[in-house]
Structure 1
Amino acid sequence: MGGAMALTLAALAYPGMLGLSTVSSSPTRVIANTQWGPLTESDRDFVVKVRAAGLWEYPVGQIGLQKGGSKEVITASRHLVDGHSALDTTCRKIAPMLNITLPNIASPQQEGFVSTLKSDSGKQFDTDFANILRMTHGAIFNTIAKIRSTTKNSLVRALADQANDTVLDHMTVMEKTGLVDFDQTLFQQTTPPKLPDTDLTPPPPAAGQPEVVLTPPPTATSTPVDIDGIAGGGGNVPAPGASPAPTVR
Structure 2
Amino acid sequence: MTWHATGTLFVGGALSLTLVALAYPSMLGVSAVAGSQTRVVAQTSAGPLTEADRDFVVKVRAAGLWEYPVGKMALQKGTTKAVLTAGQHLVAGHTALDAGCRRIAAQLNITLPNRPSPQQQGFVATLSADTGKQFDSDMANILRVTHGQIFSTIAKIRATTENSLVRQLADQANTTVLDHITVMEKTGLVDFDQVLFQETTPPKLPAQDLTPPPPAAGEPQVVLK
Q: What TM-score, normalized to structure 1?
A: 0.79
User: What CA RMSD, in Å, does the superposition of the two structures yield over aligned residues?
Assistant: 1.1
8 Å Cα contact 2:23/2:214 also seen in 1: no
Alignment partner of 1:20 out of 25, 28, 31: 28
Cα distance between partner residues in 1 of 2:86 and 2:32: 33
**Which residue does the alignment assign to 2:72?**
62
Work out whether 1:200 is the aligned partner of 2:215: no
1:106 is aligned to 2:116: yes
3-state SS of the aligned residue for 1:211?
Answer: coil
Unaligned ranges ≥5, structure 2: 1-21
In structure 2, give the amino acid aligned to 1:120: D
Q: Once the 2 structures are TM-superposed, how far is the Cα of residue 19 of structure 1 from its aligned partner?
A: 3.0
How far 1:18 moved relative to its partner? Answer: 5.1
User: Residue 117 and residue 18 in structure 1: after superposition, are their counterparts in 2 closer, same or farther (change >3 A)?
Assistant: farther
After the TM superposition, which residues 219-238 of structure 1 pair with which residues of structure 2 at under 5 Å, given as runs?
none
Contact 2:26 2:51 in 1 (8 A): no
- Do the aligned partners of residues 145 and 87 (structure 1) sit closer, same or farther apart at CA in structure 2, a change above 3 Å counting? same
Give the number of aligned pairs: 202
Superposition deviation, residue 97 in structure 1: 1.2
Separation in 2 of the partners of 1:98 and 1:120?
Answer: 39
1:171-198 residue CA offsets vs partner (Å, 9 max, x unmatched): 0000000000001011111103210011
Conserved 8 A contact 2:151-2:177: yes
Residue in structure 2 matched with residue 151 of structure 1 by the alignment: 161
Match of 1:87 in 2: 97
Give the percent of matched residue pairs that are identical in Structure 1 and Structure 2: 72
The aligned amino acid for 2:116 is: A
* Secondary structure, counterpart of 1:27 in structure 2: helix
The one of 202, 206, 209 aligned to 2:219: 209
Matches of residues 32-51 of structure 1 in structure 2 within 5 Å?
32-51=42-61
Query: 1:17, CA displacement in angstroms?
Result: 5.4
Aligned to 1:228: none
- The C-alpha deviation readout for 1:105-151, integer Å capped at 9, x for no partner, is 00000000000000001110000000000000000000000000000
